Amino acid sequence: MCVRAFLAAVIFLCAFLTGFAAQPNVVVIITDDQGYGDFSCHGNPVLKTPHLDRLHSESVRFTDFHVAPMCSPTRGQLLTGRDAMKNGCTAVCQGRSMMRADIPTMADFFLNSGYATGHFGKWHLGDSYPHRPQDRGFQTSLHHRAWGITSLADHWGNTYYDPVLSLNGVDRKYEGYCTDIFFNEAKKWIKAQKRAGRPFFLYLPTNTPHVPNVCPEKYAKPYRGTYEGKPMPAEFYGMIANIDENVGLFDSFLKAEGLRDDTILIYMTDNGTQSNQAKDIFNAGMRDKKTSVYEGGHRVPLFVRWPSGSLAHGKDIDELTQVQDLLPTLIDLCSLKLKQRPRLDGLSLGGLLTGKTHELPDRKLVVQYRVSGDPWNPAVVLWDKWRLVNGRQLYHVGRDVGQKTDVADQHPEVFKAMAEHYADWHREARPLFDLPRWITVGSRAANPMILYAQDWTGGYCDNRGGLTAATAQGYWNVVVENAGVYELELRRWPKESKKSLTEGWNGPGDRSRSARPISAANVQVANSNYTLEAIPGDELVRFRIKLPKGKTQLATTFMDAEDRALCSAIYLYVHRLIDNEALALTPVSIRKPQGNAPVGKPKSARTVTSKSFVTSPEDILLASFEREDWGDWVVSGEAFSKGPTLPKGRVNGLQGKKLADTFLANESDAPQGTLTSPTFNVERRYLNFLVGGGSHAGKTCVNLLVDGEVVQSATGPAQKDRSNRKVMLWVSWDLSKYRSKQMQIQLVDRASGGWGHIMADSFILSDRRAR
């Protein structure tokens, strides 16, 4: 062999074994609930993030980059390059956290181009086949289920320390703190890909700094106390400090392995900050936080670094960009192999990153999420620095980053252009939103399998609060891949908990309300109905039924002794059995839950809505909360200190434009306090009013006071409707026995946990009862 040929062979071999120069490695790190202001490099006066600051200094930074205001929609947009409404994943549960299975993912594109694909951390895009990460292009996946560790679908008893995690579908226990585990296991996986000589695509979405706020004390300790009189969120900042340290260690690892220069590293977050305390200390001037369509809910950082890629490192790019842009960008930067150019909603940012272009074409973007899909529920249109919020308010964030001044009246032409764009966009997106997302049962790829409450269509149920309340109902859209005999185990608690159907949870605060009188169970599927008694002390009710191949809807109901519907099976274990004529099948039944709707439209405790109470001239309006303040009502504590609030598209059933809502006023269940009316006389028989919020008796309630003593009390239903809006219901109190008394109304918020708030509106004295 000649010297020239020998040298060429050596150069090729070295590139193959160490550099992957022709195909850069890709690492996407996305943290959970870290806002734009939660970085010291962005000006946070308290939080220290030295390793992220260094990455920021070495990266191309996008300063007008947008995601969804909540985690699952952002992740779906990132992985598909499609708008949330168009890929089907618009919320965190109620069947809306799954992308349509027919849309390829970022991992699919890398896998088809010869990359090893790995996922370590949060998924939250469906927990049943074919929506798991190992079904969506990832060869290796280590993750927890649903929104996070301690969520309803997570392994029972998990904490942030030594959790049980799913490795390619098999649960196993790991030692250490969750964020450390994901980074360390990802590094082991990278070493294996290097040994195999394969370029890699690593998706590393941490579950922190999402709640619960838990971290080793050494990270939280520097942030205990106050800053300028404001309490610091020690554990929240501590989780970010831990992430920062892991990013520094990960960068050192890439350098030691000789991979740093040829690795595209992307760092971003999934929505605005989750912490009210962090928002109050520093939010980069922006309004609001996670779940909001104001700027603080969806503008997040994006850092991109590729040392050998000739990027414009150290530069800020202020072009309007969105998370859907990252897939087309990586397709271009990595020269991924495509059979045909996919239909994407984003634009490639490759030219901006390399400095070959300095601006994008004029574009209008839409951010819409949640479960309803209805126009402007909620949504924001972005155009340059203009923001049209919920179709009503117009802001220019270049001049008013805090979105304090609505300028819709001053710029009607801008308002009109953005509203028309939204109408055209929604007209295209809504039919795609309405396409169902299907879960497949009976496949060799996942048999047996589990269906979880957060993936059903129906009532809100994705956390321990929904599990312990056990009032929600829903159904799953399923595809039966193979006809045959199926065993269905209906459980209220997960199998590993070993808890019976009627047992309560002995956790803090849940002793009284978590036990449910389950006496029977019902299954409706494939136009058939089955009901079995629940044996006292059993953990499940087991059905064996024949299912035909094809699409159907699978609804379950737990019932009490009078066949009244209590809730759906929160965990449904499905197993296709080997066909055997000797198997005893559950007989078809005519017995159904009382009040249960047909399959496809199951009645849910969370679908009830209130009807308007039409006042007459004889009625007396005591309070409607339409003012800026509470007038002559007396406030104590912090819960009511900010006055009446607008519903923000998140309340169903109020009358007028404003209400008392201690959560929406504070964007938190934490503040507590009372609001007490002046005394009034009984001039009509009934006191009618609307109430919503938590169902904590004596803690989140509306009280009627006579001589300072509580004589009547009502709590909210702690329910949401199918559009994920909190429900308000009418309450009527007969005041006839208090005719000679003077009385007061008192709104009470003395709870800070889940549903730890009160909502109230429209206190009306009338001789007619509101129904």
Encode pLDDT of 233-276 as tens digits. 999 999 999 999 999 999 999 999 999 999 999 999 999 999 99
Domain map (residue ranges) of the chain: 22-359, 439-576, 620-766
Pairing of strands 550-559, 474-480: antiparallel
The pLDDT tens digits of the residues spanning 421-472 come to: 999 999 999 999 999 999 999 999 999 999 999 999 999 999 988 998 899 9
The pLDDT tens digits of the residues spanning 44-103 come to: 999 999 999 999 999 999 999 999 999 999 999 999 999 999 999 999 999 999 999 999
Edge to edge, what strands does the sheet with 364-368 contain? 364-368, 379-383, 386-389, 393-396
Higher pLDDT: 387 or 626? It is 387
263: part of which helix (H) or strand (E)?
strand 263-269
Residue 724 is predicted with a pLDDT of 73
Task: Please give the CATH topology (third level) of the domain spanning 620-766.
Answer: Jelly Rolls (2.60.120)
Decide yes or no: CATH 2.60.40 for domain 439-576.
Answer: no
Does the pLDDT of residue 420 top 50, yes or no? yes
CB count within 10 Å of CB 670 equals 17
Residue 582 is predicted with a pLDDT of 67
Q: What is the mean pLDDT of residues 318-322?
A: 98
Beta-strand ranges (E) seen in 538-625 are: 541-547, 550-559, 565-567, 571-576, 620-623
Tokens 């059995």 sit on residue: 577
Does the pLDDT of residue 602 top 60, yes or no? no
Name beta bridge partners: 125: none
Same fold, 439-576 and 620-766: yes
Cα separation of 706 and 42, whole Å? 54
Rounded alpha-carbon distances, angstroms, from residue 421 to 77, 360, 375: 20, 18, 12
Which of 151-155, 208-212, 591-595, 686-690 shows the lowest per-residue confidence on average (mean pLDDT)? 591-595
Does the pLDDT of residue 327 top 60, yes or no? yes
Residue 510 is predicted with a pLDDT of 46
- Name the average pLDDT for the chain: 92
Question: What sign does the CA torsion over 189, 194, 197, 201 have?
Answer: positive
Q: pLDDT category, 740, cuts 50, 70, 90?
A: confident
Phi, psi of 495 (to 5 degrees): -55, -40
Instruction: Tell which residue, 167, 164, 207, 219, has the closest CA to residue 188.
Output: 167
Q: What angle do CA 617, 618, 623 make, to 5 degrees?
A: 85
Q: pLDDT category, 585, cuts 50, 70, 90?
A: very high
Beta-strand ranges (E) seen in 311-410 are: 316-317, 321-322, 364-368, 379-383, 386-389, 393-396
Which of 595-604, 702-711, 737-746 shows the lowest per-residue confidence on average (mean pLDDT)? 595-604
Does the pLDDT of residue 18 top 70, yes or no? no
Q: What is the mean pLDDT of residues 599-615?
A: 44
What single-letter amino acid sits at 173?
Answer: K
CB 319 within 8 A of CB 352: yes
Answer whether 0.85 is exceeded by the pTM. Answer: no
Cα separation of 106 and 625, whole Å? 49
Cα separation of 752 and 603, whole Å? 30
Cα separation of 47 and 719, whole Å? 37
CB 393 within 8 A of CB 408: yes
What single-letter amino acid sits at 735?
Answer: L
Beta-strand ranges (E) seen in 339-438 are: 364-368, 379-383, 386-389, 393-396
Residue 22 is predicted with a pLDDT of 65
What single-letter amino acid sits at 207?
Answer: N
CB 560 within 8 A of CB 465: no
185: part of which helix (H) or strand (E)?
helix 178-196
The pLDDT tens digits of the residues spanning 126-138 come to: 999 999 999 999 9
Cα separation of 473 and 566, whole Å? 8
Work out the percent of the chain whose per-residue pLDDT is above 70.
93
Instruction: Tell me, rounded to whole angstroms, the distance of Cα 45 from its chain centroid.
Output: 29
Cα separation of 13 and 313, whole Å? 30
Does the pLDDT of residue 723 top 90, yes or no? no
CB count within 10 Å of CB 385 equals 15
Tokens 């589990």 sit on residue: 450
The pLDDT tens digits of the residues spanning 530-559 come to: 999 999 899 999 999 999 999 999 999 999
Instruction: Tell which residue, 343, 361, 339, has the closest CA to residue 352.
Output: 361
Q: What is the mean pLDDT of residues 344-360?
A: 97
CB 717 within 8 A of CB 729: yes
Residue 507 is predicted with a pLDDT of 61
Instruction: Tell which residue, 221, 248, 225, 275, has the closest CA to residue 38.
Output: 275
User: What DSSP line would sit under 111-173, residue for residue?
Assistant: HHTT-EEEEEE---S-SSTTSSGGGTT-SEEEE-STTSTTSTTSPTT--SBS-EEEETTEEEE
Beta-strand ranges (E) seen in 707-767 are: 709-715, 726-727, 729-734, 742-749, 758-766
Residue 445 is predicted with a pLDDT of 95
* Architecture in CATH of 22-359: 3-Layer(aba) Sandwich (3.40)
Instruction: Give the CA-trace dihedral at 75, 200, 64, 59, to 10 degrees.
Output: 150
Tokens 């010869």 sit on residue: 114
CB 403 within 8 A of CB 390: no
Q: What is the mean pLDDT of residues 691-697?
A: 91
